[in-house]
Amino acid sequence: ACGLFYCCSMACAQSNDNSEVLTLHSGWEFSQVGTELWRTAEVPGTVHQDLIQHNLLPNPFYGTNEQKIQWVENEDWEYRTAFTVTAEQLKRDDARLTFEGLDTYADVYLNGALLLKADNMFVGYTIPVKEYLRPGENLLHIYFHSPIRQTLPQYASNGFNYPADNDHHEKHLSVFSRKAPYSYGWDWGIRMVTSGVWRPVTLRFYDAASISDYHVKQLSLTDRAAQLSNELEINNILSRPIQAEIKIQASLEGKQASAVSRTVTLQPGVNRIEIPTEILSPVRWMPNGWGTPALYDFSAQIVTEGNIVAEQSHRIGLRTVCLVNEKDADGESFYFEVNGVPMFAKGANYIPQDALLPNVTAERYRTLFRDIKEANMNVVRVWGGGVYEDDRFYDLADENGILVWQDFMFACTPYPSDPTFLKRVEQEACYNIRRLRNHPSLAMWCGNNEILEALKYWGYQKKYTPEIYQGMLAGYDKLFRELLPAKVKELDADRFYVHSSPYLANWGRPESWGIGDSHNWGVWYGQKPFESLDTDLPRFMSEFGFQSFPEMKTIAAFASPEDYQIESEVMNAHQKSSIGNHLIRTYMERDYIVPEKFEDFVYVGLVLQGQGIRHGLEAHRRNRPYCMGTLYWQLNDSWPVVSWSGIDYYGNWKALHYQAKRAFAPLHINPICQNDTLCVYLLSDCLDAMEKLTLEMKLTNFAGKKAGKTVVLPSLSLPANTSQCVYRTPLNALFSPAKHPLADDLRRCFMQLTLKDKSGRTVAETVHFFEKTKELLLPETNITCKMKQTDGRCELTLLSPALAKDLFIEVPLQGARFSDNFFDLLPGERKTVVITSPQIKKGEALPVRLRHIRQTYN
């Protein structure tokens, strides 16, 4: 069902065969159609990047420059390059040109011939070009039609405007194109409707046959053996049958695990071949927190007449992953079972890392996965308003044991469902399912983000005529209940598919909590308190979130001091949620004393977001197995902006990312006060039960004085993979109300909880406050800070005589990493923090600024 054209998964092949691959990334030029002016260009790239490079566009992220760059989307752009082909190369049996990504309406010409009219950014194209090539210089020329002008006639003949409200153009054209939705604007996104050759271009010369697809399918997995089927699609390009030997090898860390070979006759054209392999005593791929994500190196080779004519390889993880979605007494479950064990999913929703995708370097991908792993996450959701990510993304997910929830790229609006559109979607589904299905990290497919919810609850019934609305419903079924599941079934039958997230309905409807996954926007849009997360419990929270401003050094990257006001023009250009500032303030007033200074407001906002979301993450973990996962909105940013993210555009962790790391620790102590009772939960995501644990609970006042009896619970046992309440006490039994009124103690004391294993080693610790931060009688304090600095590293030793709450260590280096930050510096406790950054130099004192909550009262 998928034409060969679209389905070549060559992108992930690392070949040792005797083909020759030219990367066509040099000598490119671009021109605005109508100007005849050609300038140098970068490929892979976008027209925006090239214009910026030539100073024809200002930095789009700075100030209000977003407005100044909008003209680019209305223009057509041409790209061209010349490359040399030798007579020798032309003697090879075949040549294929591969575009891994063209954004979007691209007419491709080679030596005067039209090769391709591309119309889908999400599809890679491989085209046989031998007949078009000539010895010596060859000319490649691509004409990119404006994605705006290209779709205006569709808009005009459509008869209504789609409700794609994140699209910041009055005419919602985004829905007509298979192009990253977020690039048209989003409630955290700059509008940059790009054009360009956004992924690699290669030309491959080879003989006899090529592997157009290699799927390593896991048939069964036990501790004794893994049975696999190597499913190959081989294209014999000769006009006669050829004898070939197909060799399949698998190894683990260089040690051979299996090798089979088979002699076959390849008929001209496409041959489908299945070769079984068995791996004895398989080492399983384990998610982060559960062990090592073991990866076997698989390769398939075609050997004819003693030559390896084609080779493809994949890294394969042996594991079972299923999404258990079954009716039960509470409604319908929704959880991942990995290698037979229910896994509590901990993670976040991922959006593209840049408004200009080709700017994302390998280094940035690596750093992002380091961030994910260090925060004890085991799942990331690739949300449907961005792109099907680069191979590098999934490779890193495989290597780091991070399961991927993969949306198809549809979000927050109905889409067309005419035959042309459906055909494009079919091609894109085929291409991406085949590209991604070998990844052990790929855990599930999801049809779209929030479109079912939108159709039911976002008021379209009133906004549109019954005919249009019925058409939207029918279109939904065609796309998400028919086409996409059929493609998943055909090409990736073992993976779970759900047609939408959330599964059923929205946060306004409590009856939906018990069924499938939920997006809880009761906190934020619904203005419910963070504490509502304790009781508004879903089976799986796939989205909930809260905004913050990025820290000052990120604001300083796009604004100058005169813009440092919440509602300045520049700050507003970087706050895309119309109610965002109001909601941040409303929530801050509930829990904090709202500071007057802008810098302090930014800081307290970061603390607020981190504490609030942590409250939810803990509630979700505490309520397992009813609730079996929590993914907050959102992991990262695509430009410097006010948003729901836990990591800003420059890679700086906000308080939220540190709080997520704490709340997601494999072993975690979670104290919670409800109705004047303190309950202490122990949360474990460990695969082994623990015995003889000791929990110590110590009460101290903010000046460091003992404030009550230390409670010690010895000999605790904690089953594997569980949440358990181990201690419960009325608050007035904890303190000595005879000496002080309880209310006073609650405002000036905290509890330090420490969990030790049988050898006395601390395995978890946390600090608990009994009142909202604004009620606490926080002391003034002087923190001493000693610094030791070498190249790349600065070690701070901090000491404070009294509590410094939510201490934030700021340094002016983008992307600097902190061993810890946004923590409570406890009275009299020495704390060492290590800051790393290539920009730290021995002998150049690093300017460090410390902020804590009490300071913002002055």
> Which residues make up the interface to ligand BMA (CB under 6 A)?
186-188, 385, 411-412, 449-450, 519, 543, 633, 644
Query: Looking at beta carbons only, is 357 or 523 nearer to ligand BMA?
Result: 523
Neighbours of 138 (CB within 10 A): 18
CA nearest to 786, candidates 776, 773, 796: 796
Task: Give residues with Cβ within 8 angstroms of 518, minimum separation 6.
Answer: 502, 503, 504, 507, 512, 538, 539, 540, 541, 542
Nearest distance from C-beta of residue 85 to ligand BMA, angstroms: 46
Q: What is the DSSP string of 237-255?
A: -SSS-EEEEEEEEEEETTE
3-state DSSP assignment of residue 645: coil
Nearest distance from C-beta of residue 576 to ligand BMA, angstroms: 9
d(CA 783, CA 830): 10
3-state DSSP assignment of residue 650: coil
Query: Looking at beta carbons only, is 519 or 748 nearer to ligand BMA?
Result: 519
Query: Looking at beta carbons only, is 166 or 438 nearer to ligand BMA?
Result: 166
d(CA 245, CA 262): 6
Query: Looking at beta carbons only, is 105 or 188 nearer to ligand BMA?
Result: 188
Query: Looking at beta carbons only, is 616 or 779 nearer to ligand BMA?
Result: 616
Nearest distance from C-beta of residue 446 to ligand BMA, angstroms: 12
Nearest distance from C-beta of residue 125 to ligand BMA, angstroms: 30
Cβ atoms of 697 and 709 closer than 8 Å: no
List phi, psi (to 5°) of 321.
-135, 125
Nearest distance from C-beta of residue 453 to ligand BMA, angstroms: 9
d(CA 307, CA 455): 57
Query: Looking at beta carbons only, is 401 or 605 nearer to ligand BMA?
Result: 605
Nearest distance from C-beta of residue 405 to ligand BMA, angstroms: 13
Q: How many Cα atoms occupy the beta-carbon half-sphere of 775 within 13 Å?
A: 13
Nearest distance from C-beta of residue 543 to ligand BMA, angstroms: 5
Query: Looking at beta carbons only, is 120 or 449 nearer to ligand BMA?
Result: 449
- Letter string b/e over residues 750-771, b meaning 16 or more CB atoms within 10 A of that residue's CB: bbbbbbbeeeeeebbebbbbbb
Cβ atoms of 224 and 20 closer than 8 Å: no
- For the purposes of burial, counting CB atoms within 10 Å of the CB of 496, is it exposed (0-12), middle (13-18) or buried (19 or more)? middle
End-to-end CA separation in angstroms for the chain: 69
Cβ atoms of 385 and 412 closer than 8 Å: yes
3-state DSSP assignment of residue 327: strand
Nearest distance from C-beta of residue 604 to ligand BMA, angstroms: 21
Nearest distance from C-beta of residue 439 to ligand BMA, angstroms: 23
Query: Looking at beta carbons only, is 645 or 723 nearer to ligand BMA?
Result: 645
Query: Looking at beta carbons only, is 313 or 353 nearer to ligand BMA?
Result: 353
Nearest distance from C-beta of residue 822 to ligand BMA, angstroms: 23
d(CA 165, CA 659): 32
Nearest distance from C-beta of residue 644 to ligand BMA, angstroms: 6
Query: Looking at beta carbons only, is 657 or 768 nearer to ligand BMA?
Result: 657
Query: Looking at beta carbons only, is 633 or 653 nearer to ligand BMA?
Result: 633
Residues in the chain: 858
Query: Looking at beta carbons only, is 389 or 543 nearer to ligand BMA?
Result: 543
CA nearest to 81, candidates 195, 206, 197: 197
Neighbours of 626 (CB within 10 A): 17
Q: What is the DSSP string of 710-733?
A: PEEEEEEEE-SSEEEEEEEEEHHH
Query: Looking at beta carbons only, is 385 or 612 nearer to ligand BMA?
Result: 385
Nearest distance from C-beta of residue 62 to ligand BMA, angstroms: 23
d(CA 664, CA 660): 6
Query: Looking at beta carbons only, is 79 or 460 nearer to ligand BMA?
Result: 460
Query: Looking at beta carbons only, is 398 or 543 nearer to ligand BMA?
Result: 543
Cβ atoms of 806 and 655 closer than 8 Å: yes
3-state DSSP assignment of residue 739: coil
Nearest distance from C-beta of residue 385 to ligand BMA, angstroms: 6
Amino acid at 153: P
Q: Number of helices and strands (H, E) in the chain?
A: 18, 46
Question: Token match 């159609």: residue?
Answer: 33
Cβ atoms of 180 and 389 closer than 8 Å: no
Nearest distance from C-beta of residue 642 to ligand BMA, angstroms: 12
Give me the residues paired with residue 833 across strands.
796
Query: Looking at beta carbons only, is 205 or 524 nearer to ligand BMA?
Result: 524
Which ranges of 651-721 does DSSP label H, i.e. alpha helix?
Answer: 655-663
Q: At what angle do helices 598-622 and 580-591 cross, to 10 degrees?
A: 80
Nearest distance from C-beta of residue 415 to ligand BMA, angstroms: 15
Nearest distance from C-beta of residue 633 to ligand BMA, angstroms: 5
3-state DSSP assignment of residue 177: coil
d(CA 375, CA 350): 14
Question: Token match 């050997």: residue?
Answer: 303
Q: Which two tokens stand for residue 305?
A: 């007449």
CA nearest to 104, candidates 387, 432, 390: 387
Task: Give residues with Cβ within 8 angstroms of 347, minimum separation 6.
Answer: 372, 377, 378, 379, 380, 381, 402, 630, 631, 635
Query: Looking at beta carbons only, is 639 or 644 nearer to ligand BMA?
Result: 644
CA nearest to 300, candidates 215, 205, 203, 227: 215
Query: Looking at beta carbons only, is 30 or 639 nearer to ligand BMA?
Result: 639
Nearest distance from C-beta of residue 412 to ligand BMA, angstroms: 5
Nearest distance from C-beta of residue 548 to ligand BMA, angstroms: 13
